[in-house]
Amino acid sequence: MAITVIAASLVILVPIVSLYRQDLRGVLSAARTGGIGGRGGRLESGLVVTQVALAVMIASGAALLARSVANIYAVQPGVRVDGVAVVDVVFDGTLDRASREKTLAELERALRELPGVTSVGAGQQLPLRGGGYRAGLRIDERPEIQNAATEYRIVTPGYLESLGFALRRGRAISGDDRPEAERVVVINEVFARRYFPGVDPIGRSIGIDVDQGRSRIVGVVADAAEKRLTDAAEPVRYVALAQMPWIDDAQSIVLRTAPGVAETSLLEPVRRTIARVAPAVAVQQTTTMRRVLDTSVGPARQVVSLLSLLAGLALILGAVGVYGVMTHFATRRRRDWAIRVAIGLPGSRVIAHVLGHGAMLVSAGIVAGIVGAAMLTRLLSSFLFDVSALDPIAFAAAGAALFGVGVAAAFVPALRAGMADPLEALREQ
């Protein structure tokens, strides 16, 4: 508000001071000849150049971030992000392990019966959210491995299927993996490459330091982004919830929808179903994997939205500035052009002159803006991914956008000046 008041005051005071200091005889003389004062013309031109330069700087930053966000979204997350609804629930802390497992099974069964749902699973952690558990690792065939620890996820049988994990070898967690059966584990490809290089890990036994138990590897799934899309994949183990001695209070239930069914349409039915089947279970939030992905992209996506809005406003203000100055420029010289047109100067020459003057101002602003952007866009380096802070494509796009908008804004007063009736213009003078 303070800046707005100061800016408005300057807009009012500058022309008042200029009028107060002007020589009236010079003003009348300029009006008779249709000329434009040198200082006034330079000031107006300088303001337009500055305005265009600032717009180019903002647009360059927005273009850089837009390219960066596009590069992030181009990274494959390793899981399905479309057609997957997510509901985060919290169990009553007083429930024992058996009650939690039973309640979770009843919820999965009820949610699976909802129209449009093809599979349901649950786990204590989702990809792209980070966090989760880490546990020590023991491999009999690799005694040289010391103090190794990897991420591990406790999941129900439908978890990997619902999230669309690609099964590379073996099988996924199934309903047959009960407490009384042999303990099993599914690993990702990074785990297989790091701890079983050159050999098939299926059937191998590994130990987990959480409860000193051992599990047999039954499957290998594709890598998934556990934290951010730009992070390198980490070794992860997926273990059957039914074979673990505890179940977390918080669980994330994922529901995969049939083709043509919007996952957002399931969020409210899911809430109602949980309230009906398990009133003691609190729904922390309902969301979708697409929103989870958007959140994981993080600050870059939020900043690009802000800068894009500011760049759009800058384009509008730049166009208004160019239009205003070129209108003033054309109006002040209207009598001169009327005389020249009357003695045979083609109107197209007038249009070309006004348009050329506007293009010159816009070009000067673009050059100044690109130089300024080259110095300031380095501040955005921490938000950029797979794109340089001096990316020529981003600068060229910003410059082209401002040039097109600026020339288009100058074309209107240029066309008006070229098509003006000389007799009418001379009569007005």
Provide block-wise average pLDDT over 10 residues at a time, the chain (429 residues). Answer: 90 79 61 48 81 89 86 86 94 86 93 94 88 78 75 92 94 91 93 90 82 83 86 88 87 94 93 92 93 83 80 84 81 73 76 86 92 86 84 90 88 78 60
What is the reported pLDDT for 38?
46
Q: Within this chain, do residues 335 and 214 fall inside the same structural domain, yes or no?
A: no
Q: Within this chain, do residues 205 and 250 fall inside the same structural domain, yes or no?
A: yes
Q: Within this chain, do residues 70 and 97 fall inside the same structural domain, yes or no?
A: no
Q: Within this chain, do residues 166 and 109 fall inside the same structural domain, yes or no?
A: yes
Which positions ≥6 away from 146 have C-beta within 8 Å? Answer: none
Q: Within this chain, do residues 138 and 250 fall inside the same structural domain, yes or no?
A: yes
Q: Is 337 within the bounds of a domain?
A: yes
Q: Is 288 within the bounds of a domain?
A: no
Q: Within this chain, do residues 276 and 331 fall inside the same structural domain, yes or no?
A: no
| Residues of the domain holding 309 | 37-74+299-428
Q: Is 7 within the bounds of a domain?
A: no
Q: Is 206 within the bounds of a domain?
A: yes
For residues 84, 89, 91, 92, the Cα torsion angle rounded to the nearest 10 degrees is -160
Q: Answer yes or no: are the C-beta atoms of 189 and 223 closer than 8 Å.
A: yes
Q: Is 163 within the bounds of a domain?
A: yes
Domain endpoint, select from 280, 314, 343: 280
Q: Within this chain, do residues 112 and 142 fall inside the same structural domain, yes or no?
A: yes
DSSP single-letter state for residue 77: -
How many domains are contained in the chain? 2
Nearest to 122 by CA among 267, 256, 32: 256
Which positions ≥6 away from 237 have C-beta within 8 Å? Answer: 135, 150, 151, 152, 153, 185, 186, 187, 191, 206, 208
Q: Within this chain, do residues 151 and 269 fall inside the same structural domain, yes or no?
A: yes
Q: Within this chain, do residues 51 and 96 fall inside the same structural domain, yes or no?
A: no
What is the reported pLDDT for 27?
57
Query: Which residue, chain included where needed, has tokens 């039973």?
Result: 102
Q: Within this chain, do residues 190 and 271 fall inside the same structural domain, yes or no?
A: yes
Q: Within this chain, do residues 177 and 232 fall inside the same structural domain, yes or no?
A: yes
For the stretch 30-33, contacts whose Cβ atoms lie closer than 8 Å and that sit 24 or more positions apart, written own/partner, are: 32/429, 33/335, 33/336
Q: Is 13 within the bounds of a domain?
A: no
What is the reported pLDDT for 368?
93
Q: Answer yes or no: are the C-beta atoms of 44 and 325 closer than 8 Å.
A: yes
CA distance 122 to 125: 9
Q: Is 80 within the bounds of a domain?
A: no
CA distance 111 to 114: 5
Domain endpoint, select from 280, 307, 330: 280
What is the reported pLDDT for 285?
93
What is the reported pLDDT for 294?
86
Neighbour count for residue 315 (Cβ, 10 Å): 22
Residue 411 phi/psi, 5° resolution? -65, -35
Q: Which residues pair with 88 in a beta bridge?
A: 252, 285
What is the reported pLDDT for 286?
94
Q: Answer yes or no: are the C-beta atoms of 348 and 418 closer than 8 Å.
A: yes
Q: Within this chain, do residues 305 and 344 fall inside the same structural domain, yes or no?
A: yes
What is the reported pLDDT for 36?
46
Q: Is 19 within the bounds of a domain?
A: no
Residue type, 167: L
Q: Answer yes or no: are the C-beta atoms of 145 and 209 closer than 8 Å.
A: no
CA distance 55 to 171: 56
Domain endpoint, select from 253, 280, 307: 280
Buried b (16+ CB within 10 A) or exposed e, 387-417: bebebeebbebbbebbbebbbebbbbbbbbb
